[in-house]
């Protein structure tokens, strides 16, 4: 998969990793980059084509797909984090995270799958998380939604293989963006994460683990969860 000469659409391109995806796609020779957001007036990236897209609104997805009929690479970056727990958290926020990360991503994929097929298959990159594989007290709603999006990524990979569409999942821990501004944890430079993601996409990888945290969490899945969550659960 080569980005040079491709037409790329990035969701959530107004800030953070989405902005870097749009900029780096242009740097790699993309012929056109659709930079999309719910509030497109907040996008100020030179050289992109700005497009309104709210991934939680099916009508907005359909309108974007009607315009961007030349897309060959779809980057599902848009997301939110409400820092909500499952038991006593606001159920509306729990539903919003699932509507965004799972149903929103699915809506965009469904809207553009036929376009990708018509343009030779192309590729989809879904921005996931190390939290796809573990829960974190204080953000369990986000973890659940990202776990669902990981399963979605695996599922659409199988369903779109016949039309020649590469589906890549990106996993990363902390990233230095507005979304994680209030967390005192180790954070990667978003430009480095995006670079690793696009390198993996161009290399045809099905999965990109952008940091040691993601690699470590995935490796721990084969072990006893009592060891992984030691310190977070009461000692028997």
Helix (H) or strand (E) holding 170: strand 166-171
The chain-wide mean pLDDT, for the chain, equals 93
Structure confidence at residue 178 (pLDDT):
58
pLDDT tens-digit series, residues 116-165: 999 999 999 999 999 999 999 999 999 999 999 999 999 999 999 999 99
Task: Classify residue 55: in a domain, yes or no.
Answer: yes
Residue 201 lies in a domain: yes
Looking at residue 176, what is its pLDDT?
A: 58
Output the pLDDT for position 31. 98
Q: Considering its fold, how many domains does the chain have in total?
A: 1
pLDDT of 220 higher than 70: yes
> Does residue 233 fall inside a structural domain?
no
Where helices occur in the chain by DSSP H, the ranges are 16-27, 58-67, 91-98, 105-118, 140-160, 190-202, 212-220, 225-228
- pLDDT of 187 over the 80 cut: no
In the beta sheet, which residues pair with residue 10? 35, 75
CATH of the domain at 188: 3.40.50.720
pLDDT in tens, 9-19: 999 999 999 99
The answer to the question of residue 146 being in a domain is: yes
Residue 77 included in any domain: yes
Structural domain includes residue 235? no
Residue 139 φ/ψ, nearest 5 degrees: -145, 35
Burial per residue of 158-196, b for 16 or more beta-carbon CB atoms within 10 angstroms, e otherwise: eebeeeebbbbbbbbbbbbbebbeeeeeebbebeebbbb
207 lies in some domain: yes
Range of the domain at 166: 7-228
Residue 2: inside a domain: no
């Amino acid at each position: 998969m080569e980005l040079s000469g491709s037409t790329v659409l990035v969701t959530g391109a107004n800030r953070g990793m989405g902005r870097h995806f749009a900029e780096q796609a242009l740097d790699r020779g993309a012929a056109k980059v659709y930079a999309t957001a719910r509030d497109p007036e907040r996008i100020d990236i030179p050289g992109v084509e700005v497009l309104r897209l709210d991934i939680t609104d099916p009508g907005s997805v359909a309108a974007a797909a009607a315009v961007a009929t030349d897309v060959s690479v779809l980057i599902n970056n848009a997301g939110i984090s409400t820092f909500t727990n499952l038991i006593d958290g606001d159920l509306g926020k729990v539903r919003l995270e699932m509507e965004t990360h799972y149903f929103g991503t699915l809506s965009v994929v469904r809207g553009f799958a036929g376009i990708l097929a018509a343009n030779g298959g192309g590729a989809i990159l879904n921005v996931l998380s190390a939290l796809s594989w573990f829960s974190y007290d204080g953000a369990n709603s986000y973890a659940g939604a990202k776990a669902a999006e990981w399963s979605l990524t695996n599922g659409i990979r199988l369903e779109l293989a016949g039309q020649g569409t590469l589906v890549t999942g990106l996993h990363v821990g902390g990233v230095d963006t507005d979304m994680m501004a209030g967390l005192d944890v180790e954070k990667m430079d978003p430009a480095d994460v995006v670079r690793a993601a696009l390198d993996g996409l161009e290399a045809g990888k099905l999965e990109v683990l952008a940091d040691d945290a993601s690699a470590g969490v995935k490796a721990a899945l084969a072990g006893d969860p009592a060891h992984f969550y030691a310190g977070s659960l009461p000692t028997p």
